[in-house]
């Protein structure tokens, strides 16, 4: 994993100096790099002279298809039944239990976990709660290698914002489970921010232009025309002191909500925490900094 750019810049992804301090404290080995080394060893070009960074050999990418297969298979073995395209139309509490109404089914339960990401308020409205979120709509694309013998590490560029955006970019090496001879490069900023997913719109070619320009100006042996374009949504707390939410949302402590933040990489741990909360009413983990407080609600 290669991080480079302005070492003092704080971002939603952390920063170079804090990461180095954490690695020093925990004994994680890494190599410091200057601008020339970053360009000569990792195929970047035209970087500002004051850029520095580090390389940590254990960085990598999650094989998402295999991860999802594992999650699904383990859930199936545990007896979990999953229903697709089943919108929740109503939730009511009667005689100490919750009744969930969908278009074709009715479920009765004592416990509910709401983990619907950016769509969280479509469910929490049935508990008379609405969480303040900024819904980021983000683009991503793949770029073809013009030299099949080169590759890039997992990397992140920490740069000062410009007039249009935060100017942050990241990328991955070529992966054997994705597009052959292509690597992914994406901006770490939204092309649009909404209060609700219902406001979502499709990106235009202009929303990929700045990433294409970054690839053209700073990366070698790549065709700078974006291919295999996609978008995704991310919910972030409007409260800038919060990274995400994980808390009970009802007084009976039978409904847990997890939403917001960059949590996909921690799915097993967050699943364990949610299970502990619902089964035991408490968790072994300190989640006090993820609490949903009155100022976090609309």
Question: How many C-beta atoms lie closer than 10 Å to residue 147's C-beta?
Answer: 11
For residue 13, name the pLDDT band (cuts at 50, 70, 90).
confident
CATH for 86-132+241-296, among 3.30.1550.10, 3.50.50.60, 2.60.40.10, 3.30.450.40?
3.50.50.60
Question: How many C-beta atoms lie closer than 10 Å to residue 218's C-beta?
Answer: 18
**Token pair belonging to 230:** 């996609």
Q: Which residue has the tokens 């409904």?
A: 255
Give mean pLDDT, residues 28-46: 97
Q: Are 70 and 106 in contact (CB under 8 A)?
A: no
Instruction: Reply yes or no on whether the pLDDT at 72 is more than 90.
Output: yes
For residue 59, name the pLDDT band (cuts at 50, 70, 90).
confident
226, burial (CB in 10 Å: exposed 0-12, middle 13-18, buried 19+): buried
pLDDT of residue 12: 78
β-partners of residue 222 are 145
Superfamily of domain 2-59+139-237: D-Amino Acid Oxidase, subunit A, domain 2 (3.30.9.10)
Instruction: Reply yes or no on whether the pLDDT at 49 is more than 90.
Output: yes
| pLDDT, tens digit (0-9, with 9 covering 90-100), for 99-126 | 999 988 999 999 999 999 999 999 999 9
| pLDDT, tens digit (0-9, with 9 covering 90-100), for 140-163 | 999 999 999 999 999 999 999 999
- The chain-wide mean pLDDT, for the chain, equals 95
**How far is it, in rounded angstroms, from Cα 114 to Cα 125?**
11
Q: Pick from 162, 190, 125, 168: which is nearest to 5 by CA? A: 168
**How far is it, in rounded angstroms, from Cα 108 to Cα 162?**
52
Of 238 and 264, more confident? 238
pLDDT of residue 60: 85
What is the arrangement of strands in the sheet containing 97-102, beginning at the earlier edge strand? 88-94, 97-102, 106-109
| Domain locations along the chain | 2-59+139-237, 86-132+241-296
Instruction: Reply yes or no on whether the pLDDT at 265 is more than 90.
Output: no
Report the percent of the chain where pLDDT is more than 90. Answer: 94
Q: Which residue has the tokens 């976990």?
A: 113
| pLDDT, tens digit (0-9, with 9 covering 90-100), for 175-185 | 999 999 999 99
């Amino acid at each position: 994993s290669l991080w480079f750019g302005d070492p003092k810049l704080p971002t939603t992804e952390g920063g170079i100096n804090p990461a180095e301090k954490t690695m020093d404290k925990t004994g994680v080995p890494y190599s410091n790099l200057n601008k020339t080394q970053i360009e000569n060893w990792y195929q970047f070009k035209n970087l500002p002279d004051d850029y520095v960074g580090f390389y940590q050999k254990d960085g990598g990418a999650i094989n998402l298809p295999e991860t999802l297969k594992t999650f699904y298979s383990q859930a199936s073995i545990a007896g979990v039944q999953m229903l697709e395209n089943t919108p929740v139309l109503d939730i009511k509490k009667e005689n100490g239990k919750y009744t969930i109404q969908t278009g074709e089914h009715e479920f009765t339960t004592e416990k509910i976990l709401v983990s619907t990401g950016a769509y969280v308020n479509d469910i929490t409205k049935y508990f008379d709660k609405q969480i303040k979120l900024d819904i980021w709509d983000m683009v991503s694309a793949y770029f073809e290698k013009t030299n099949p013998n080169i590759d890039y590490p997992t990397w992140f560029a920490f740069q000062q914002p410009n007039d249009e955006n935060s100017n942050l970019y990241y990328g991955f090496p070529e992966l054997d489970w994705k597009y052959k001879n292509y690597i992914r490069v994406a901006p770490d900023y939204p092309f649009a921010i909404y209060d609700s997913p219902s406001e979502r719109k499709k990106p235009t070619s202009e929303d990929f232009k700045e990433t294409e320009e970054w690839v053209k100006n700073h990366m070698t042996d790549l065709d700078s025309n974006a291919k295999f374009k996609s978008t995704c949504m991310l919910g972030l707390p409007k409260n800038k002191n919060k990274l995400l939410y994980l808390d009970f949302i009802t007084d009976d402590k039978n409904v847990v909500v997890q939403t917001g933040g960059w949590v996909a990489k921690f799915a097993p741990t967050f699943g364990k925490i949610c299970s502990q909360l619902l089964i035991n009413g408490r968790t072994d983990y300190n989640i006090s900094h993820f609490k949903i407080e009155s100022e976090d609600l609309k």
